[in-house]
Structure 1
């Protein structure tokens, strides 16, 4: 291994330590969502259970709060809830990944013969042209990584792809290893499939799946995994407006290298959930982690919001389990271990709210909480308005509105003076409405009917925005159960 590689890690660590002195003072630092000590982060990478820990890697610029030369940050956890930061795992250092607008792009991790292998996209620009290739690094202790001397293991895209050729996800099936890579051609997103017997020599199989013209112009961060008796292909499409992430459920014809879709759906109907990646837990569950942001509304190479003033930008959404419904579609309930973060019960009870009547919950001292509700409408469907992170004068608030036609709308037009817009999702069934709402320092995540519908958003509220108010509109609402908890920190 070249001497410059450990030097690049040391420089990155020192730069991040300097930023951290500023970042810790930010009022929008998340209390129980994962984020790096400082600097920029986007996609989760390399999720795996190895050596008794869950390992999380992530796209990271340790030199500033903006997108920049991509490194792989690293953390580990016993439960996917409480995290310990580890040294930066990968840094740009070689001709195939050393560029200020490139670096070590997203990828995945596998274990083989006791070693932990990372697969990532090396990204550079040569003569103004994008160059992306698939590369490998390995470790025998899960902390210090060595780049494979034979990199890149896949030097460039096949004729079916394009220079946009990134985000390898590797898995084992039978006696072979498989790699899916996101790409595009002629304005249509694609998932390209490779096969290997030893993780080092890869043979191109063909186009595993592709857009019919309506599913995005580029498929980023593809993920493939088994779920019960089905296979799932997930990807984040570019060029699909408000759609941030799609999944296909079906089967894989490994002889032809084709994914055979039967069902399709959206993972999150909110604003800020992108590039999710999954892993298998030792007890057989499938868990999903996603970046709590998205590219479409970000000016390229600039910042997302006011957190950059404090030397950091980016966090992950809460971990979600992936469950297969009887009809072949998916739901995404919050990870069961998240209940360990409940620190103090702020409210517990049931009540009937008449037309226009409101309930003010006891405020959390930092505005961060979890809400759990079950609601019926005795006189037929009505509206329930939940104002989250509201100021005493009501000028600032994030509103969740459950409407008569079964829609659930997340409205952030009056949340913080920075973000705008509303997103609406539709319930799958009538009857009792079940909600779990997680409010952190700079985000809200809403899980409807045990993950049948999920809506996520970021927000940057003023310090006095700590109130929560529940109001019945135009009818009576019977709150059969209401719990509110103050949350512990995850660090």
Structure 2
């Protein structure tokens, strides 16, 4: 251990108290990038007065104005109008650069705010900001702290995809599209990296907003997401489990039992993978798991439902029953579900949308039930244990 050596400092007093979670990239390129330098984003908030009003109204490079009509709150069940945001600031990702190769005493130069989100101005700041290039686009990612969207989801991770533009003030992200990385709850504090083969892989940390975790001695109570491979497709950020998950985690096929429009599969150890291909966008219900609420002993249930073209996760008997976990996409033709006793991860249309959350399934064996009309195929398998 030695004396700390700061590599990046607040440039002025306008920087918010949050100055956190640096993420560096050494392989960026493009018209706004100096190939001889590495780039680092840092989460903060900046005074609104530092931004030109005309630039904000016109969504100039570096400014996002697409909002989700939510509210500021300190907690996952916080109600509108109770906690007061600071409307004099805006959440921002501050950009720094340094000459390569990076060394311990390198000087990081401030390049200005590469992105400021005026559509979510009442959010406090970002958690775990990220900036990288993928499939010909520049992508920024960060969780909006102390914010619930209009559907009731708390501190969701948001992505912004577009082009990194050269401006007189420095590189700025022209965000063409923006959305949530996950339509469930608790997928948080993501960390991505470039694998040796070029894949962009991300992990998320699951926070327990549904209040589902049952702490027991001598077991691991933390939870991380499956590693997901990111791509930009039709301007949208997509995510799907890495190929190694399919190669290593999927077990033997489970036997189906049919009864009219209902098909069920017994899942040993309450851990399974389901790959369902649908013929149309008709209504369906997929019963993912049942359990018991650890707080009151009442029964709980977790479903994926499609009603009138809207596909969403639905909980029963939990503190998040009133939250609308709408996937935000239509015409769902493929559904993949990973359920592993206490966490679900759902992927729609090969990663066009992903939704996940913690959910404490019942002990012992479980069951996956599919109620649908036209199904082109359903492949349901057990999950291998890590010890195999």
Superposition TM-score tier, normalisation by shorter sequence = 0.7 to 0.9
Are 2:264 and 1:360 aligned? Answer: yes
Tell me which of 396, 399, 405 is aligned to 2:303: 399
1:375 corresponding residue in structure 2: 278
Distance in 2 separating the partners of 1:262 and 1:231:
10
Q: Write the mapping of 1:34-433 to structure 2, written as runs, cut at 5 A.
A: 149=3, 151-156=5-10, 158-172=12-26, 173=28, 174-185=35-46, 186-197=88-99, 198-199=102-103, 200-215=106-121, 216-241=123-148, 242=153, 244-253=156-165, 256-293=170-207, 297=209, 305-307=213-215, 312-326=220-234, 328-340=235-247, 341-347=249-255, 357-361=261-265, 363-377=266-280, 382-390=282-290, 395-403=299-307, 405-414=308-317, 420-426=321-327, 428-430=329-331, 433=333
SS in 2 for 1:333: strand
Are 2:388 and 1:489 aligned? Answer: no
Q: Which TM-score applies when normalising by structure 1?
A: 0.60
How far off its partner does 1:232 sit?
0.6
Measured against aligned partners, the alpha-carbon deviations of 1:323-373 in whole angstroms (never above 9, x if no partner) come to 1113x1221122222112112111479x8x85xx32221x22200010000
How far off its partner does 1:175 sit?
0.6
How far off its partner does 1:308 sit?
6.2
Q: How many residues matched?
A: 321
Cα–Cα, structure 1 residues 391 and 269, in superposed 2: closer, same or farther, change >3 Å?
closer
User: Gaps (5+ residues) in structure 1?
Assistant: 3-148
SS in 1 for 2:215: helix
Q: Is this contact kept in 2: 1:189–1:211, CA < 8 A?
A: yes
How far off its partner does 1:411 sit?
1.4
Measured against aligned partners, the alpha-carbon deviations of 1:287-331 in whole angstroms (never above 9, x if no partner) come to 22111226xx49xxxx973226666532111111111113x1221
Cα–Cα, structure 1 residues 313 and 395, in superposed 2: closer, same or farther, change >3 Å?
closer
Distance in 1 separating the partners of 2:327 and 2:320:
23
2:350 corresponding residue in structure 1: 450
Q: Is this contact kept in 2: 1:276–1:289, CA < 8 A?
A: yes
Q: Is this contact kept in 2: 1:406–1:427, CA < 8 A?
A: no
How far off its partner does 1:180 sit?
0.7
Cα–Cα, structure 1 residues 424 and 150, in superposed 2: closer, same or farther, change >3 Å?
closer
Measured against aligned partners, the alpha-carbon deviations of 1:383-408 in whole angstroms (never above 9, x if no partner) come to 2111122369x9543111122x2211
User: Gaps (5+ residues) in structure 2?
Assistant: 29-34, 47-87, 293-297
Cα–Cα, structure 1 residues 424 and 396, in superposed 2: closer, same or farther, change >3 Å?
closer
Distance in 2 separating the partners of 1:411 and 1:153:
46
Q: Which TM-score applies when normalising by structure 2?
A: 0.74
How far off its partner does 1:435 sit?
0.4
Q: Is this contact kept in 1: 2:156–2:188, CA < 8 A?
A: yes
Q: Is this contact kept in 1: 2:212–2:358, CA < 8 A?
A: no
Measured against aligned partners, the alpha-carbon deviations of 1:99-124 in whole angstroms (never above 9, x if no partner) come to xxxxxxxxxxxxxxxxxxxxxxxxxx
SS in 2 for 1:317: coil
Q: Is this contact kept in 2: 1:347–1:482, CA < 8 A?
A: no
CA RMSD of aligned residues (A): 2.8
2:53 corresponding residue in structure 1: none
Q: Is this contact kept in 2: 1:209–1:259, CA < 8 A?
A: yes
Q: Is this contact kept in 2: 1:183–1:190, CA < 8 A?
A: yes
SS in 2 for 1:338: helix
1:18 corresponding residue in structure 2: none
How far off its partner does 1:253 sit?
3.3
